[in-house]
Amino acid sequence: MKIVFLDRDTLSPQTRLRTPAFPHELVCHGRTAATEVATRITDADIVLVNKVRLDAAALAAAPRLKYIGVAATGTDNIDLAACRARGVVVSNIRHYAVHTVPEHTFSLIFALRRSLCAYRDAVRAGRWQASGQFCFFDFPIRDLAGSTLGVIGDGVLGQSVAAIGRALGMRVLMAAFKGRGDMGALYTPFDRVLAEADVITLHCPLLPQTRHMIGAAELAAMQRRPLLINTARGGLVDESAVGPALQAGHISGAGFDVTELEPPPADHPFMALQHRPDFILTPHVAWASDEAVQALADQLIDQVEAFERGAAVHVVSA
């Protein structure tokens, strides 16, 4: 059985990829360009992939393909309809990032809420010495205790972020789906979350109905000038609207770990915000603690072995 990993370099180099416990040939490519996909999977029985796109044309070039193991939770890079039509089983990784993503989310929240990057840069520039006293107050510092956290996305990551927020003394609002008002007392209508939250954090998948779920109109409706945090998926926010919202004061800060196109090109609107003390962009690493990436790799091979035994798990398309 031939196994082809198309983008092994998307897992950190210190991550150990265990050898599957059945006869096989494993071919690992560090990266795979779109023009190389069809050739590299043409004789594969199993394909492992993180972010490389597998569309209908590429799948048609792989007549032996039986299984795709996605080394991530999101599967928007896979043509699931084409997989179903061809009888290709697709599995994703689940629950491996239950600590790392919430921790990164709150790293961004703390850094912005207390202006950590701004103060660090000011100290580097000599501002402390110039102040002539033991401290200075150039940038805002706000507590999280007593503030309101709006969580958009009620899966395991959203729930974990909510639990941390409650532990910090925050009032937590779990947002209902946009446009829905019938989800019960455990959920707060989407528009009310925008109006009442001091911090809004996204933890939902990128789907047609969630693409650009927050744009200029939603940013303008954020009455308490909240922090906007996105450690979920690029495309959930209209990225061209974030800079104007910061400039207009609709939001007091933004922390993003994802962009719609990764890596972002030099003319991406976020690249023009790098000088701002109220904006932080990290390179899609919220998921990437050593512990989490190793757990992902172990689960990826566990799932390959389960498929080979005829007991596929975490199936998203079959």
Which residue of the set 104, 239, 284, 308 is catalytic? Answer: 284
Do 91 and 141 fall within a single domain? no
Residues 216 and 300 in one domain: no
Q: What is the pLDDT of residue 317?
A: 73
130 and 82 within one domain: no
Domain count, the chain: 2
**Judging by beta carbons within 10 Å of its beta carbon (0-12, 13-18, 19+), is residue 311 exposed, middle or buried?**
exposed
Walking along the chain (318 residues) 10 residues at a time, the average pLDDT comes out as 98 96 97 97 98 96 97 93 96 95 98 98 98 97 98 96 98 94 90 98 93 98 98 97 98 98 97 97 97 98 98 88
Contact in structure between 13 and 47 (CB atoms under 8 Å):
no
145, 31: one domain: no
Same-domain check for residues 217 and 303: no
Same domain, 313 and 238: no
Residues 224 and 305 in one domain: no
Residues 26, 173, single domain; the answer is no
Catalytic-labelled residue, pool 84, 95, 127, 262: 262
- pLDDT value of position 266: 97
Matching residue, tokens 């933890």: 203
Catalytic residue among 233, 250, 260, 308: 233
Parallel, antiparallel or unpaired: strands 25-28 and 2-5: parallel
Burial (CB count <10 Å: 0-12, 13-18, 19+), residue 298: middle
Q: Any idea how long the chain is?
A: 318
> Is 64 in the same domain as 117?
no
**CA distance linking residue 267 with residue 11, whole number of Å:** 27
Q: What is the pLDDT of residue 226?
A: 98
Q: Is 275 a catalytic residue?
A: no
pLDDT reported for residue 318: 55
Our answer to whether residue 260 is catalytic in this structure is: no
CATH number at residue 304: 3.40.50.720
CB neighbours of 116 closer than 8 A, spacing ≥ 6? 110
| CA–CA distances in Å: residue 50 to residues 36, 93, 135 | 15, 10, 46
The reply to whether 273 and 297 lie within a common domain is: no
Task: Name the one residue in this structure whose structure tokens are 């983008």.
Answer: 7
Output DSSP code: residue 300.
H
Task: Read off the tokens for 244.
Answer: 């104007």
> 85 lies in which domain range?
2-96+290-317
- How many of the other CB atoms lie within 10 Å of CB of 175? 28
Instruction: Return the pLDDT at 43.
Output: 97
Report the candidate in 310, 308, 306, 287 with the shortest Cα–Cα distance to residue 94: 287
Give the per-residue pLDDT at 299.
Answer: 98
120 and 240 both lie in a single domain: yes
Q: Is the domain of 242 the same as that of 191?
A: yes
Reply yes or no on whether 284 is catalytic. yes
